[in-house]
A and B are shown apart, each in its own frame.
Chain A
């Protein structure tokens, strides 16, 4: 199933980034716009409980299930990093 995945992944990733930036803006009301380069913990101060809520909201919005087993802090440095992780570790509901 490699071929369909490579075709779908960029579109899904864009949806994840879009969803994440909207949710983070709503949840944390940061004074500067959230972009792909925004650092989740170091700039936004995202707590682990809010990160959990973020993942659940992304799952609901995009109708996916994210496998969190392999997730660690390195993959949550920026919006872009977490979007990469989610795109590579999710399945449709």
Chain B
């Protein structure tokens, strides 16, 4: 049977009551991290993202969301430590959407990118990406296409690096534009990356450790 990964795309634009419900699910460390963020919008997004992660993983495992624990690894990769033996999870947020991924035994990384206004995708790709990817971004017919191509490549790189538990910066030139099976350098390993259809101009990618194909099921909102 093929492995499967479930992905939820959740809006962080919530009213005060829902925000309070998410906040009530967070542990002391998450609340402290939220409180340290100086921008109210960034703080609220963090709260909703981590609350949504808890709700969705708790529901998948039939465990109260506030009883889940994660430990952050060397490069920020979280591992579910309570309950032990739970699925691999990953979380990403950009602008006002959150992506939550719940997999199985294979390490998972998810990334969501909203093409950032003001960002110069051609200059960034030219400076930091492999030459072929930089050409792909630059050859987009208009500004929206160039921004979209950059966001897609960026999401794919981040998803692979997050699944690998590696550092992003040495992997900026990691080619991800053509093949779905990507070989990371440090830590060494092969990952399979998949583009996930997402509304509103966002780009989402998910990666699982190993080259075996897998199924992706996507839901929008917390009820999916």
Most buried by B among A31, A32, A53: A53
> Do A52 and B38 form a contact, CB below 8 Å, given A69-B169, A71-B169?
no
Q: A11: CB under 8 A from chain B?
A: no
Q: A47: CB under 8 A from chain B?
A: yes
Q: A10: CB under 8 A from chain B?
A: no
Query: What mask results when residues 57 to 93 of chain A are scored 1 for a CB within 8 Å of chain B, else 0?
Result: 0010000000011111100000000000000000000
> Do A30 and B94 form a contact, CB below 8 Å, given A49-B116, A53-B119, A72-B169?
no
Query: What mask results when residues 2 to 44 of chain A are scored 1 for a CB within 8 Å of chain B, else 0?
Result: 0000000000000000000000000011111000000100111
Report chain B residues within 8 Å CB of A31.
38-39
The segment from B7-15, B50-58, B99-107, B120-128 found at the interface with A is B120-128
How far is B45's CA from A72's CA once the two chains are assembled, in angstroms? 24
DSSP majority for the A interface? Answer: loop
Query: What mask results when residues 141 to 169 of chain B are scored 1 for a CB within 8 Å of chain A, else 0?
Result: 00000000000001000100000000111
Within 8 A of A (CB), among B1-57: 33, 36-39, 42-43, 45-46
**Which B residues are closer than 8 A to A by beta carbons?**
33, 36-39, 42-43, 45-46, 75-76, 94, 113, 116, 119-120, 123-124, 127-128, 154, 158, 167-170, 172
> 25 interchain pairs (CB within 8 A)?
A28-B39, A31-B39, A39-B36, A44-B37, A44-B39, A44-B42, A45-B45, A47-B94, A48-B168, A49-B116, A49-B119, A52-B128, A53-B116, A56-B123, A56-B124, A56-B127, A56-B128, A69-B169, A69-B170, A71-B167, A71-B169, A71-B170, A72-B75, A72-B167, A73-B75
**Which A residues are closer than 8 A to B by beta carbons?**
28-32, 39, 42-45, 47-50, 52-53, 56, 59, 68-73
